[in-house]
């Protein structure tokens, strides 16, 4: 027997997709569908972002800066869409959110393993984030693997070293699980890149775009949280907006920001 012809619905698994939104409130409350859909859409974008971030690291490893830039541009477009999507959720008032919030129990974006995976690729790693997930779960295995992996910044420095820049060994061989600290030696190299090496300076600019894009998402998310729940604690158990404020404005690639006043 031949397989049935591929259709839009069979290829994209539309029936399965449309069955995945299960409101918990009685009624159900009107706004809960939006809340579920928007989080699911985010998780799909997170999946795509990870796919593309892996690609950028590979292009850098293959010494393909133009292709790395091309993929970074796609990543930035996705981040912009992710930021813009918050506008939709901000149409939900505090009272509308209250109609179903307690049904979320302890569920929170705090528990998004894909968001943590993105942070890990970008250099924000922590053992605590891994331990929140059960051993041998998909989430835990993915985070453990990414904890050991070189970050995008490590990949970039190794690429620069192959381009002929004298990147000190301490940076090329560093423990990739520790936070990225500013370094005056790396800053000296970046200044040279910006002044005399337009191809790689462009690559630096795309990394700054990415860094700024992620910071923008954090800022917009905390503002949305403030206007929706004020100073209430988060369902994930944190202090809520006060906790999120601490994560805002922290650059991913500090050296790229440090050098700007010297250019
Ligand atoms: C009404 C909407 C929302 C509210 C009130 C809200 C609230 C919060 C709060 C209070 C936290 C701190 C952790 C906690 O204790 O729960 C948090 C973290 C987080 N939320 Fe949301 N959130 C909302 C929508 C979203 C959406 C649409 C996403 C997209 C995936 C998202 C992703 C995250 C992530 C990734 C974290 C962890 C951030 C970090 O640890 O740096 N949130 N959220």
On the question of pLDDT at 36 being above 70, the answer is: yes
> pLDDT tens digits for 200-249?
999 999 999 999 999 999 999 999 999 999 999 999 989 999 999 999 98
Query: Is ligand 1 within 6 A of the CB of residue 33?
Result: no
Q: Which of 164-168, 203-207, 236-240, 252-256 has the lowest mean pLDDT?
A: 236-240
Q: What mean pLDDT, rounded, does the chain reach?
A: 96
171 band by pLDDT with thresholds 50, 70 and 90: very high
> pLDDT tens digits for 103-128?
998 899 999 999 999 999 999 999 99
Query: Is ligand 1 within 6 A of the CB of residue 229?
Result: yes
165-202 burial code (b ≥16 CB/10 A, e <16): bebeeebeebebbeebeebeebbebbeebbeebeebee
Measure 259 CA to ligand 1 centroid, in angstroms.
Answer: 32
Q: Which residues contact 226 (CB under 8 A, 6 or more apart)?
A: 241
On the question of pLDDT at 151 being above 80, the answer is: yes
Q: How far is CA 208 from CA 33, 185, 202, in A?
A: 35, 19, 10
Atom of ligand 1 nearest to the CA of 43: 30
Q: Three-state SS for 21? A: coil
On the question of pLDDT at 1 being above 70, the answer is: no
For 70-73, which contacts have Cβ atoms below 8 Å and span 24 or more sequence positions?
72/203, 72/206, 72/207, 72/209, 72/210, 73/206
Percent of the chain topping pLDDT 70:
100
> pLDDT at position 184, please?
97
Query: Is ligand 1 within 6 A of the CB of residue 234?
Result: yes
Q: What distance in Å separates the CA atoms of residue 206 and residue 200, rounded to the nearest whole number?
A: 10
Q: What distance in Å separates the CA atoms of residue 179 and residue 124, rounded to the nearest whole number?
A: 6
Mean pLDDT of 127-131: 96
Q: Is 68 exposed, middle or buried (0-12, 13-18, 19+ CB in 10 A)?
A: buried
Q: How many alpha carbons fall within 13 Å on the CB side of residue 66? A: 0
Q: How far is CA 94 from CA 46, 55, 68, 118, 140, in A?
A: 26, 40, 42, 29, 33
Q: Is 129 exposed, middle or buried (0-12, 13-18, 19+ CB in 10 A)?
A: buried
> pLDDT at position 2, please?
79
Ligand 1 mutation target, pool 48, 225, 233, 249, most atoms within 8 A of CB: 225
Q: Whose CA is nearest to atom 26 of ligand 1?
A: 39
Ligand 1 mutation target, pool 37, 39, 105, 108, most atoms within 8 A of CB: 108
On the question of pLDDT at 3 being above 90, the answer is: no
């Amino acid at each position: 027997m031949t397989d049935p012809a591929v259709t839009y619905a069979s290829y994209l698994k539309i029936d399965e997709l449309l069955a995945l939104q299960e409101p918990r409130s009685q009624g159900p409350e009107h706004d809960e569908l939006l809340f579920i859909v928007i989080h699911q859409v985010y998780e799909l974008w997170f999946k795509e972002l990870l796919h593309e971030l892996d690609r950028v690291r590979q292009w850098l490893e293959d010494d393909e800066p133009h292709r790395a830039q091309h993929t970074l541009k796609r990543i930035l477009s996705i981040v912009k869409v992710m930021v813009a999507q918050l506008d939709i959720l901000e149409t939900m008032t505090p009272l509308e959110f209250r109609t179903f919030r307690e049904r979320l129990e302890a569920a929170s974006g705090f528990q998004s393993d894909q968001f943590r995976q993105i942070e890990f690729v970008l250099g924000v790693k922590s053992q605590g984030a891994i331990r929140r997930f059960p051993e041998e779960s998909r989430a835990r295995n993915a985070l453990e693997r990414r904890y050991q992996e070189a970050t995008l910044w490590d990949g970039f420095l190794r690429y620069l070293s192959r381009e002929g820049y004298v990147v000190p060994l301490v940076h090329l061989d560093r423990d990739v699980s520790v936070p990225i600290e500013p370094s005056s030696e790396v800053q000296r190299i970046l200044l040279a890149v910006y002044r005399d090496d337009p191809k790689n300076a462009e690559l630096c600019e795309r990394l700054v775009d990415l860094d700024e894009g992620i910071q923008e998402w954090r800022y917009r998310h905390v503002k949305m949280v403030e206007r929706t729940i004020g100073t209430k604690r988060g369902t994930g158990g944190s202090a809520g907006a006060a906790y999120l404020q601490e994560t805002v404005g922290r650059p991913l690639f500090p050296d790229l920001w440090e050098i700007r006043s010297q250019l």
